[in-house]
């Protein structure tokens, strides 16, 4: 039977085994999906060994998403652009194909959660410039967002993303981050602020437009203070769990031969 795994360090917190296990049961497919705790020194050898053990692919999570590009034989354009991979396909000839579905997952989640969301309606505003922001920027640019305002506590990282991803990006100082919201019709928290155990999101959302679609990559808790404030302003909000669920779709389809659905049942299965 085909096997796949999620590989990270640490790995016990990953929801992917629940997600893929749910899909395998739901569609009555023969397959297995497990979590593998692999440290960076063992990553390359593990990836070489897995195909011989019946593995058809893997998801890659923190902290290996960037490093894994070095161990792949083919890297998709999207993974190259984002500079990281989260989905591997082991080819029949033993080669490793690396792709990134995080930007896809982000966009698919917004489209499902806010069906009338129009990426072209106005600028996007992103808080945060870490790894998650890279995939989100690529996803938004693909979707046709005309302009992206980007603000990060460490401004240098936002400037770096502008240098890499181009003129569509306008960097805003973290102390003035709230001002990005005046025209934004798509608003994203890509920082870890608001996560259980982390600091709160404190930037004022005073300037938020009620017609903006607002989403958070934090999904623990599901209803973050950021989303609650946006909802109080009348905005449509989309929680971050769906991004995780949707990013798993392309890998599952490739490994197990069935394009899985993301719906309430899927959400319940991982929570
Ligand atoms: P990920 O890959 O998940 O995006 P990351 O690269 O560690 O993770 O990025 C975390 C993001 O949350 C960064 O934008 C980080 O800001 P810095 O680049 O300044 O570190 C942001 N972040 C984390 N803690 C923060 C805090 N207390 N205040 C503001 N931003 C914070």
Give the tens place of pLDDT for each residue, 115-126. 999 999 999 999
Query: Given a cut of 90, is residue 108 above it in pLDDT?
Result: yes
**Residue 163: Cβ-neighbour burial (10 angstroms; 0-12, 13-18, 19+):** exposed
Number of C-beta neighbours around residue 17 at 10 A? 19
Verify that 142 and 255 share a domain, yes or no.
Answer: no
Averaged pLDDT for residues 87-114: 97
pLDDT band of 146, cuts 50, 70, 90: very high
Verify that 123 and 237 share a domain, yes or no.
Answer: yes
pLDDT band of 235, cuts 50, 70, 90: very high
* Ligand 1 contact, 128 CB (< 6 A): yes
Range of the domain at 175: 103-243
What pLDDT, on the 0 to 100 scale, is given for residue 186? 98
Verify that 118 and 197 share a domain, yes or no.
Answer: yes
Read off the pLDDT of residues 69-100 as tens digits, 9 standing for 90 and up. Answer: 999 999 999 999 999 999 999 999 989 999 99
Outline where 40-125 has alpha helix (H). 40-49, 77-82, 102-113
Q: What is the spatial order of strands in the sheet that 124-127 belongs to? A: 169-173, 148-152, 124-127, 186-189, 213-216, 236-238
Measured from the CA of 129, which atom of ligand 1 is nearest? Answer: 14
Averaged pLDDT for residues 206-232: 97
* Ligand 1 contact, 67 CB (< 6 A): no
Nearest CA to ligand 1 atom 16: 153
Verify that 150 and 234 share a domain, yes or no.
Answer: yes
Verify that 76 and 190 share a domain, yes or no.
Answer: no
Verify that 175 and 266 share a domain, yes or no.
Answer: no
Read off the pLDDT of residues 17-50 as tens digits, 9 standing for 90 and up. Answer: 999 999 999 999 999 999 999 999 999 999 999 9
Q: CA-to-CA distance for 94 and 55, rounded, in angstroms?
A: 11
Verify that 175 and 64 share a domain, yes or no.
Answer: no
Read off the pLDDT of residues 166-205 as tens digits, 9 standing for 90 and up. Answer: 889 999 999 999 999 999 999 999 999 999 999 999 999 9
Verify that 25 and 113 share a domain, yes or no.
Answer: no
Verify that 178 and 78 share a domain, yes or no.
Answer: no
- Classify 238 in phi/psi space as left (phi over 0), alpha (psi -120 to 50) or beta: beta
Residue-averaged pLDDT of the chain: 97
Verify that 147 and 186 share a domain, yes or no.
Answer: yes
Q: CA-to-CA distance for 212 and 190, rounded, in angstroms?
A: 16
Q: What percentage of the chain has pLDDT greater than the value 90?
A: 99
**Helix, strand, coil percentages for the chain (3-state, nearest 5):** 40, 20, 40
What pLDDT, on the 0 to 100 scale, is given for residue 94? 87
Number of C-beta neighbours around residue 56 at 10 A? 21
**HEC per residue, 14-26:** CCHHHHHHHHHHH
Averaged pLDDT for residues 126-140: 97
- 23: domain CATH number? 3.40.50.10860
Verify that 114 and 159 share a domain, yes or no.
Answer: yes
Q: Cα(57) to centroid of ligand 1, in Å?
A: 29
Number of domains in the chain: 2
SS3 147: coil
**What value of ipTM does the predicted structure carry?**
0.96
What pLDDT, on the 0 to 100 scale, is given for residue 167? 81
What pLDDT, on the 0 to 100 scale, is given for residue 160? 97
pLDDT band of 240, cuts 50, 70, 90: very high
Verify that 115 and 88 share a domain, yes or no.
Answer: no
- 199: domain CATH number? 3.40.50.720
E strand map for 135-251 = 148-152, 169-173, 186-189, 213-216, 236-238
Nearest CA to ligand 1 atom 14: 128
What pLDDT, on the 0 to 100 scale, is given for residue 228? 97
Query: Given a cut of 90, is residue 225 above it in pLDDT?
Result: yes
Instruction: Match 């300037």 to its residue by tokens.
Output: 207
Nearest CA to ligand 1 atom 4: 130
Active-site amino acid positions = 65
Q: CA-to-CA distance for 135 and 131, rounded, in angstroms?
A: 7
């Amino acid at each position: 039977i085909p096997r796949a795994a999620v590989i990270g360090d640490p790995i016990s917190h990953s929801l992917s085994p629940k997600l893929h296990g749910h899909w395998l049961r739901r569609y009555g497919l023969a397959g297995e999906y497990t979590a593998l705790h692999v440290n960076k020194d063992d990553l390359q050898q593990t990836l070489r060994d897995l195909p011989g053990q019946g593995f058809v692919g893997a998801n890659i999570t923190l902290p290996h998403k960037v490093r894994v590009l070095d161990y792949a034989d083919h890297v998709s354009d999207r993974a190259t652009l984002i500079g990281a991979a989260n989905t591997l396909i082991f080819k029949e000839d033993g080669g490793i194909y690396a792709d990134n579905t995080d930007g896809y997952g982000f966009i698919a989640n917004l489209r499902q959660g806010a069906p009338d969301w129009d990426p072209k309606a106005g600028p996007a505003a992103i808080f945060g410039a870490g790894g998650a922001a890279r995939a989100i920027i690529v996803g938004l640019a693909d979707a046709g967002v005309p302009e992206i305002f980007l603000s990060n506590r460490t401004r240098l990282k936002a400037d770096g993303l502008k240098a890499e991803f181009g003129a569509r990006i306008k960097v805003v100082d973290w102390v003035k981050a709230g001002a990005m919201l005046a025209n934004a019709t798509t608003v994203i928290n890509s920082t870890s602020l608001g996560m259980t155990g982390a600091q709160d999101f404190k930037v004022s959302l005073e300037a938020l437009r009620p017609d903006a679609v607002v989403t958070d990559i934090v999904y623990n808790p599901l209803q973050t203070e950021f989303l609650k404030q946006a909802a109080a302003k009348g905005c449509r909000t989309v929680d971050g769990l769906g991004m995780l669920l949707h990013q798993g779709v392309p890998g599952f389809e490739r490994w197990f031969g069935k394009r899985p659905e993301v719906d309430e049942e899927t959400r319940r299965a991982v929570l």
